[in-house]
């Protein structure tokens, strides 16, 4: 694992960097880190340069106090690419990372060769989901990150296969514990306030990959597969919840490779 860091506006940003060739940028989900992708990076880096970033306040990246809108994260990704002098990438975003990917595609499509949403959606939050974000932020304040993560992570995996993924669940919890409370609450606010970006999917001419798990308790497949077209590939992974990079990494890798 080649871990690096770079400063973006005087803040440390940690990332992994493997392989050579056209660049794939992998963006993890809420309370995750670049290590979410550790089972995908080796295969993908055989043919491409692969970057996997720690979002602000996650993993080993520093907190940005005022980064609390999805478009802030998209702007941050552009600045990160500028620091590395990378002009174009194929972007793969998991969950929160997918929301960021859509915002990036909306503002900076000229810097994309293609993009993928993994267990994510172009829809805005429902009223119920928005209320849930507020409750989550309150729980973090009242009970702390560890209690919050202990309640969150098991829900990310397919309920019928929890026993098969105990090691992965514990690993995801440890990653979640490293998330700062400010970073987590910023991300919760950004997700709550994000706008509907269905039009981004409908209007893009770029190659798009949509990946869903048939047992995802957070984002069901019908919320991922919102748009079809000749440039849009839909992949449904069986017996998988919200974490195919852990639950079915080989299948996820094969899907992502279709964007090459």
Entry pTM: 0.97
End-to-end alpha-carbon separation of the chain, Å?
Answer: 22
pLDDT at 65: 86
Q: How far apart are CA 1 and CA 33, in angstroms?
A: 13
Residue 34 · residue 59 · CB < 8 Å: yes
Q: How far apart are CA 19 and CA 79, in angstroms?
A: 22
CA torsion sign, 166 to 169 to 171 to 173?
negative
pLDDT at 141: 97
Tell me what the mean pLDDT of segment 209-233 comes to: 97
209: DSSP letter: E
The model's pLDDT over 58-92, given as tens digits with 9 standing for 90+, comes to 999 999 888 999 999 999 999 999 999 999 999 99
What is the CA 174 to chain-centroid distance, rounded? 17
User: Nearest Cα to 226, choosing from 237, 213, 210?
Assistant: 210
The model's pLDDT over 3-56, given as tens digits with 9 standing for 90+, comes to 899 999 899 999 999 999 999 999 999 999 999 999 999 999 999 999 999 999
pLDDT at 260: 77
Q: How far apart are CA 211 and CA 233, in angstroms?
A: 8
User: Nearest Cα to 214, choosing from 129, 164, 157?
Assistant: 157
> Tokens for 69?
């809108």
Total Cβ atoms within 10 A of residue 69: 17
The model's pLDDT over 92-151, given as tens digits with 9 standing for 90+, comes to 999 999 999 999 999 999 999 999 999 999 999 999 999 999 999 999 999 999 999 999
The model's pLDDT over 151-192, given as tens digits with 9 standing for 90+, comes to 999 999 999 989 889 999 999 999 999 999 999 999 999 999
| Confidence tier at 2 by pLDDT (50, 70, 90) | confident
Domains of the chain: 3-257 (3.40.50.1820)
User: Angle between the 181-193 and 96-108 helix axes, to the nearest 10 degrees?
Assistant: 60
pLDDT at 159: 94
Sheet containing 11-18, strands listed edge to edge, beginning at the edge strand earlier in sequence = 3-8, 11-18, 49-53, 23-27, 89-94, 112-118, 208-213, 232-237
- Residue 12 neighbours by CB under 8 Å, 6+ apart: 5, 6, 60, 61, 62
User: Nearest Cα to 87, choosing from 115, 113, 52?
Assistant: 113
């Amino acid at each position: 694992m080649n871990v690096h860091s770079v400063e973006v506006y005087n803040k440390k940003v940690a990332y992994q960097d493997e392989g050579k060739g056209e660049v794939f940028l992998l963006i993890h989900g809420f309370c995750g880190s670049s290590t979410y992708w550790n089972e995908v990076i080796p295969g993908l880096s055989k043919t491409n340069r692969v970057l996997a970033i720690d979002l602000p306040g996650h993993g080993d990246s520093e907190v940005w106090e005022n980064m609390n809108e999805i478009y802030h994260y998209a702007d941050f990704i552009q600045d990160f690419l500028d620091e590395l002098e990378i002009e174009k990438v194929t972007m793969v975003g998991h969950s929160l990372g997918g929301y960021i990917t859509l915002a990036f595609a909306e503002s900076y499509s000229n810097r994309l060769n293609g993009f993928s949403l993994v267990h994510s959606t172009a829809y805005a939050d429902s009223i119920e989901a928005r209320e849930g974000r507020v409750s989550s932020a309150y729980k973090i304040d009242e009970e702390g990150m560890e209690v919050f993560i202990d309640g969150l992570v098991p829900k990310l995996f397919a309920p019928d296969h929890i026993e098969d993924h105990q090691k992965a669940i514990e690993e995801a919890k440890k990653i979640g514990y490293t998330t700062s409370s400010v970073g987590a609450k910023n991300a919760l606010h950004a997700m709550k306030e994000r706008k509907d970006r269905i039009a981004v999917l409908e209007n893009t001419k770029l190659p798009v990959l949509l990946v869903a798990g048939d047992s995802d308790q957070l984002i069901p497949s019908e919320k991922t597969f919102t748009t079809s077209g000749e440039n849009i590939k839909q992949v449904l992974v069986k017996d998988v919840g919200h974490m195919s990079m852990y639950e079915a990494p080989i299948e996820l890798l094969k899907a992502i490779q279709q964007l090459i």
